[in-house]
Chain A
Amino acid sequence: MTTNARTEATPMHMPAERIVPQSDLYETPSSTVRTPDAEPRPARIVARKVNVFYGAKQALFDVSIDIPERAVTAFIGPSGCGKSTFLRCLNRMNDTIEGCRVTGTIRLDGADIADPALDPVELRARVGMVFQKPNPFPKSIYENVAYGPRIHGLARARADLDAVVESSLRKAGLWGEVKDRLNEPGTGLSGGQQQRLCIARAIAVSPEVILMDEPCSALDPIATARIEELIDELTQNFTIVIVTHSMQQAARVSQRTAFFHLGNLVEEGPTDMIFTGPLEKRTQDYITGRFG
């Protein structure tokens, strides 16, 4: 791995064709039970032997996984299993936690995200995040979406910014509901609308990967269905990783599912297979409600 993988010649976002499809995942020794896709996709994120410690306590043990591009990967597992911890490694959100130490390598499009030359703020623009509780800025709807592109210098002229705001809100399925009140505060929207606003804000900076940490757990079933529909549409352009407590949601929205337990990645494979015939007994016990 070169220390400075991105030079001036490479654009900020590497096109999918450039991603090396070969992977050493199945040669990497690990306790994880894996089943490849029938037609494997190129990996956007490659994680190898990731360990996370909170002080002396180890929260994650030797997690290795490929996150395939333009697909939804779901992380499931009981509370405290490490799925959110691992998700937060993918855009170095754990850096912000006192006493948290991460070992192993995580590469985004082949470049090590722990590279000191890589600005975490830029990384988080490339790997966006949507949280459990909608958290719009206490600003107007327009500003919520325009903020990211403006600080990252993706749109300078007002007309460009307007276009980015509109297209992001459209992709998030919110444009029709808010186009006449873009100057009203984002916090005045309903919970489901706020969450879609947060998704619009995340996609406004054209990330490669969107991380979603239980994005629907604070929403009612209809708002949840709209987010799931949106996730389906976003798969056309984005790589999505979703942590969810709803196994039915994981079954509905994802193409691959990874099951975590006690800090280990127990099993990962095509979602269809995980929910009809998982190979590991612990996976089976968890998804069928036989745990503990």
Chain B
Amino acid sequence: MGQHTVTSFDEDLDAIDGLIHDMGDLAGAMVAAAARSLVTSDAALAQRVVSDDALMDAHQRELDDRAITLIAKRQPVAQDLRFVVGAIRMAADLERIGDLAKNIAKRVGAVGEGVAPRELSHSIEAMAQAVMVQVGAAVARYEARDAEALMRLRDDDEKIDVQYTAAFRELLTYMMEDPRNITACTHLLFCAKNLERIGDHVTNIAENAYYVLTGRQLPLNRPKHDETALTVEPD
């Protein structure tokens, strides 16, 4: 991408790019910490995720302000316009990822009482690992301006959906085995759902980033494998 004749235009765009980068890093860290605090019942780590969310919100507000000001001042078109509008939308998705990570962290206390969560959360651990990788990759691929990788990343969400279905079934099994697990497993079920939602936001980010880079929208239909709506009881 060449330089603008007006240098300060490039500086304004770079500032927005920097914020997207920071928010991406923070979102990845928050998801990782939330998942770890959940499986290790680490209340202090969970508390840090909760406080990080305030930082995420502050970043998003700053990005919104900068983007709106840039549109007012420069009337960007073509790639610049896609970049600015895409940044606003990606920031909204990253902020939601932060919220969902915070929600997972808030459940750590409730899950941890009485039952050893590690026993119950094998499938969640695997799922969290996959989601973490996705969150990190989305922003990294965007920064590398790699549209093809973003397209593949979107399709990878299918794997998370499959893992979510597996986690759902597994937790249902634990609850049927022993009703004392119900409280913990219900919270874990919400955590699994949150991770699945984070995967959806990563998909949004990948779609957005693809449009910013290429000017083309990805086709609407992509593989979907969340079957929990059809799952009544485990086989």
A interface residue numbers (CB < 8 A to B): 247-248, 251, 275-278, 283-285, 287-292
Total number of A-B contacts with CB less than 8 angstroms? 40
Give the most central of A247, A285, A287, A288: most B CB within 10 Å.
A288
Chain B contacts of A283 at CB under 8 A? 78
Against A, the Cβ 8 Å flags (1 = close, 0 = not) of B191-235 are: 000000000000000000000000110000000000000000000
The segment out of B64-72, B79-87, B155-163 that lies at the interface is B79-87
The segment out of B3-11, B88-96, B121-129, B181-189 that lies at the interface is B3-11
The majority secondary structure among interface residues of chain B is: loop
Pairwise interchain contact B5-A284, C-beta atoms closer than 8 A: no
B77 contacts the other chain (CB 8 A): yes
Pairwise interchain contact A290-B77, C-beta atoms closer than 8 A: no
B75 contacts the other chain (CB 8 A): yes
B136 contacts the other chain (CB 8 A): no
List 25 contacting pairs A-B, 8 Å CB cutoff, sorted by A. Answer: A251-B77, A275-B77, A275-B78, A276-B77, A276-B78, A276-B81, A276-B82, A276-B215, A277-B79, A277-B82, A277-B215, A277-B216, A278-B78, A283-B78, A284-B79, A285-B2, A288-B4, A288-B76, A288-B77, A288-B78, A289-B5, A290-B1, A290-B3, A291-B5, A292-B5
Chain A contacts of B82 at CB under 8 A? 276-277
The majority secondary structure among interface residues of chain A is: helix
The smallest C-beta distance from B2 to any residue of chain A, in angstroms, reads: 4
The smallest C-beta distance from A285 to any residue of chain B, in angstroms, reads: 6
Q: Which residue of A lies closest to B215 (CB)?
A: A277
Give the most central of B6, B9, B76, B79: most A CB within 10 Å.
B79
Q: Which residue of B lies closest to A290 (CB)?
A: B2
Pairwise interchain contact B6-A277, C-beta atoms closer than 8 A: no
Interface magnitude class on chain B: 10 to 19
The smallest C-beta distance from B140 to any residue of chain A, in angstroms, reads: 24
Pairwise interchain contact A287-B77, C-beta atoms closer than 8 A: yes
Chain A contacts of B3 at CB under 8 A? 290
* Given A276-B215, A277-B215, CB of A288 within 8 Å of CB of B80: yes
Chain B contacts of A289 at CB under 8 A? 4-6, 9
- In addition to A277-B215, A285-B2, A288-B80, 20 A-B residue pairs with Cβ atoms within 8 Å of each other are A247-B77, A251-B77, A275-B77, A275-B81, A276-B81, A276-B82, A276-B215, A277-B78, A277-B79, A284-B78, A287-B77, A288-B76, A288-B77, A288-B78, A289-B4, A289-B6, A290-B2, A290-B3, A290-B5, A291-B5
Chain A contacts of B78 at CB under 8 A? 275-278, 283-284, 287-288
Chain A contacts of B4 at CB under 8 A? 288-290
Q: In the complex, A292 Cα to B2 Cα: how many Å?
A: 10
Q: In the complex, A285 Cα to B2 Cα: how many Å?
A: 8
Chain B contacts of A290 at CB under 8 A? 1-5
Chain B contacts of A291 at CB under 8 A? 5
